[in-house]
Structure 1
Amino acid sequence: MPKINGNEIRPGNVLEHNGGLWAAVKVDHVKPGKGGAFAQVELRNLRNGSKLNERFRSADKVERVRLEQKDQQFLYESDGMLVFMDAETYEQIELPAELLGERRPFLQDGMTIVVEFHDDEALNASLPQKVVCKVVETEPVVKGQTAANSFKPAILDNGVKVMVPPFVGQDEDIVVNTETMDYSERA
């Protein structure tokens, strides 16, 4: 595995640090008036989700880990486990539903997601950035309500509550950004 300097750490990099695998969430490069420059890095443990703030000087060497990314198709959920199938080998794997966290409701039958593996252990899963959902409940459109940036609450078919523009009505399909969990556009 390649070693990189402390000042080369970028958000999204996966590092082997203190005997664990950590993802760099936030990186701030600091150059104090006195002393050498360093990178203040917020790390998230990929196995248990704990967070750690660490300083890396530019002379420090850290081990960068490359994760293998595989497309997996969602089949079904059973006892809190999500069952996926590898599109190439047709192997089925089970992953805990907690791996998706608050984005779990956006997972739909047959959806293809990217699962990141390290030594055949699934560490992370990412949904497509945009997903089409149906609005099942929202307030009716009020004529003349044209105030800038006025949004109203809407409940989607997966139970998630998002804020939508006033022109979106009930039973309409909308596109939701799965990273921010916000309304993106009409479908």
Structure 2
Amino acid sequence: MATTADFRNGMCLDMEGQFYFIVEFLHVKPGKGPAFVRTKLKNVQTGRVIDKTFNSGVKVDEVRIERRPYQYLYQDDMGYNFMNNETFEQISIQKSLINGVDFLKEGESVEVVTHAESETVLYADVATHVVLQITYTEPGLKGDTATNTLKPATVETGATVRVPLFIETGEKIKVDTRDGSYVERAK
């Protein structure tokens, strides 16, 4: 059990059988009336963000979570298969629980967040930025660097990314996995 004084960003709460992460919180002491805590909570299963206000000092159920590095091995009909980097234990995770799954390639490391008591996987995060090779894009024309026009390009994982006109097939680019946007050319 924790109280509102223990709130911190990233803390996981159990409310009515659902797990929520605290995205942000603010302790408010109005001139009149009791203090309260205004929070933004993200549902682990659905990803929905809700606003909730707690009276100051209220007890809440804190969920202990663990973050572990796993390496992506392969995909089959059971889901995406990962191996723990320390114990070599293998687990299978559903596609819906992996953030940035379209940019996941074999051998990449991901951070898997699990419920500490039940060992159930809450979600997995691919690195924020990944370097991928372009397998196909329309050829660019010389001098097409002045405008901010973008064209579609297919990367080695099969995902499509919008890239500037001067990017060619075979080049490596850095991609932001949160929204699938082009960041820069990779060295």
Say yes or no: TM over 0.5.
yes
Q: Where does residue 112 of structure 1 map in the other structure?
A: 109
Structure 2 unmatched ranges of 5 or more: none
Q: Where does residue 61 of structure 2 map in the other structure?
A: 63
Q: 1:46 to 1:116 in 2, by over 3 A?
A: same
| Residue 59 of structure 1, CA deviation | 3.2
C-alpha contact (below 8 Å) 1:7/1:58 kept by paired residues: no
Q: Where does residue 173 of structure 1 map in the other structure?
A: 172
State the AA in 2 paired with 1:129: T
Q: Where does residue 125 of structure 2 map in the other structure?
A: 126
C-alpha contact (below 8 Å) 2:4/2:37 kept by paired residues: no
Q: Where does residue 141 of structure 2 map in the other structure?
A: 142
State the AA in 1 paired with 2:13: L
Q: 1:64 to 1:169 in 2, by over 3 A?
A: same
Task: Give, in whole Å, the separation in 2 of the partners of 1:58 and 1:104.
Answer: 39
So what's the TM-score if we normalise by structure 2? Answer: 0.80
SS of the residue 1:93 aligns to: strand
Q: Which moved more, 1:122-131 or 1:62-71?
A: 62-71
The 5 Å alignment of 1:68-87 reads 68-87=66-85
Task: Give, in whole Å, the separation in 1 of the partners of 2:153 and 2:25.
Answer: 35
So what's the TM-score if we normalise by structure 1? Answer: 0.80
Task: Give, in whole Å, the separation in 1 of the partners of 2:31 and 2:165.
Answer: 51
Task: Give, in whole Å, the separation in 2 of the partners of 1:44 and 1:55.
Answer: 14
Task: Give, in whole Å, the separation in 2 of the partners of 1:37 and 1:146.
Answer: 55
C-alpha contact (below 8 Å) 2:144/2:166 kept by paired residues: no
CA RMSD after TM alignment? 2.8
| Residue 109 of structure 1, CA deviation | 0.9
Structure 1 unmatched ranges of 5 or more: none
| Residue 79 of structure 1, CA deviation | 0.8
C-alpha contact (below 8 Å) 2:153/2:163 kept by paired residues: yes
